[in-house]
Amino acid sequence: MSSFDVLVLGSGPGGYVTAIRASQLGFKTAIVEKESLGGVCLNWGCIPTKALLKSAQVFEYLQHAGDYGLSVEGADKDFGAVVKRSRSVADGMSKGVQFLMKKNKIEVLQGYGTLKPGKKVSVKDADGKETTYEASHIIIATGARSRELPSLPQDGKKIIGYREAMTLEKQPKKMIVVGSGAIGIEFAYFYNAMGTEVTVVEFLPNIVPVEDEEVSKQLERSFKKAGVKVMTSSEVTKVDTSGDGVKATVKTSKGEQTLEADIVLSAVGIKTNIENIGLEDVGIATDRDKIMVNDYYQTNIPGYYAIGDVTPGPALAHVASAEGILCVEKIAGMHVEPLDYGNIPGCTYCMPEVASVGMTEAQAREAGYDVKVGKFPFSASGKAKASGNPDGFVKVIFDAKYGEWLGCHMIGAGVTDMIAEAVVGRKLETTGHEILKAVHPHPTMSEAVMEAVADAYDEVIHL
């Protein structure tokens, strides 16, 4: 029986990063994967969706070339070619992970892994052959998949999840997107930009409901301006797929409505992949679809750990990677501190982009803070105006007493690349005055952060 120091179940951004860090620390490492290296993120999530979104953004630029004093005639899209480019990008990234596995001398065990008692994992390959491996430390990183609602049973054709949404052979004329988290909003933007008539249905009062309310309202305005129909405080109660298209019954505050479309995209969250992997056989504790772990990702059974979407933290690729690194560094005996889940950035890659970290204004006030709030619109930013992207703003929230940076919320072009300033600032316990006195380059989108801080302290110059 082959034996390893560390064996990782799942090769997504949690699993493969964990395996690499384990190898760097001198552990003999193996990773089990039933599909393609890179997991959902590289193959069906983060990366291929960004390729689709970039194509949509370029298409939008071509359509608005006149705004920049340029003339482009006959600009059109080839939907199949857009999808093909996205798949090509994903394939390239997966091959990159294969290279990293070889470079770090990590053994890749291709097949379906099942946990066994006594720190063992059984792997069944495509031919049905089972091989058992043992390891001193087994790390579960099996991720999650699209969640299905009883009222929205996915058939892969008329009611689809995110996998089908990025590989449709034909562009739909009309689409209903149920759910307005990052996945739903990104696909709503993509299909609308490509010319599909899109309706977003959200159960809660605001789209992107985890974001600061002002950000949600701004995104709704931007979406409606772009032609996306937004229905909040609404619920799809029934879907009829018997005809050529789809008829969705939507319950709203004003009564029931029937929407017709070619396709319904269900984007109502995720379901963890914890079934049929042997948790019950080993005795690993779960609660409400999550594996229970301590601050260092140890389960209740010694030698078994869990990271990423299968644990109670935020289901984000960068969180899974951070958890995996922390987990193996703790195994190696290094001094590590538990992850600060209050300082995790969240990003949505629609247009305008959305990025945030820390408390919303409402959360800060509910927590009892006396707050200073600053806001700077991109309409007052020279770089934003020059680039033709004046929509959106940066909003900052500080504790009035000590100057602690409680939260930062952005909506606008390129803000997903800007949010790291707030994450690092909060990690270093930076105060508002320190940000204000840190010279930001001009003209840039990023100086809007400094201007928003200046607004919080009544020192704003350009507003």
Tell whether 309 is in a known binding site. yes
Please, what is the Cα angle at 422 between 416 and 427, to 5 degrees? Answer: 130
The helix/strand/coil state of 413 is coil
Active centre residues (catalytic): 442
Tell whether 269 is in a known binding site. yes
Tell whether 65 is in a known binding site. no
Residues 161-182 as b/e (b if ≥16 CB within 10 A, e otherwise) read bbbbbbebeebbebbbbbbbbb
Task: List the beta bridge partners of residue 353.
Answer: 412
* Residue written as token pair 């302290």: 457
Tell whether 140 is in a known binding site. no
Report yes or no: 42 and 17 within 8 Å, Cβ to Cβ. Answer: no
The CA radius of gyration of the chain, in Å to the nearest whole number, is: 24
SS (H, E, C) 85-135: HHHHHHHHHHHHHHHHHHHCCCEEEECEEEEECCCEEEEECCCCCEEEEEE
Strand order in 229-231's β-sheet?
A: 159-160, 263-266, 174-178, 197-201, 229-231
Burial class (CB in 10 A: 0-12, 13-18, 19+), 9: buried
End-to-end Cα spacing for the chain: 69
Rounded Cα gap, residues 282 and 406, in angstroms: 41
Rounded Cα gap, residues 124 and 42, in angstroms: 23
Please, what is the Cα angle at 354 between 353 and 359, to 5 degrees? Answer: 165
Tell whether 289 is in a known binding site. no
DSSP-derived secondary structure letter, 380? G
Tell whether 113 is in a known binding site. yes
Report yes or no: 175 and 204 within 8 Å, Cβ to Cβ. Answer: no
Q: Check whether the bond before 205 is cis (ω within 30° of 0).
A: no
Q: Check whether the bond before 352 is cis (ω within 30° of 0).
A: yes
Report yes or no: 163 and 44 within 8 Å, Cβ to Cβ. Answer: yes
Tell whether 129 is in a known binding site. no
Tell whether 50 is in a known binding site. yes
Tell whether 160 is in a known binding site. no
Rounded Cα gap, residues 117 and 347, in angstroms: 39
Tell whether 184 is in a known binding site. yes
* Residue written as token pair 């379906």: 112
Tell whether 404 is in a known binding site. no
Tell whether 182 is in a known binding site. yes
Q: Which residue numbers belong to the known binding site?
A: 50, 113, 179-186, 202, 269, 309
Q: Which residue numbers belong to the known binding site for FAD?
A: 50, 113, 309
Q: Which residue numbers belong to the known binding site for NAD(+)?
A: 179-186, 202, 269
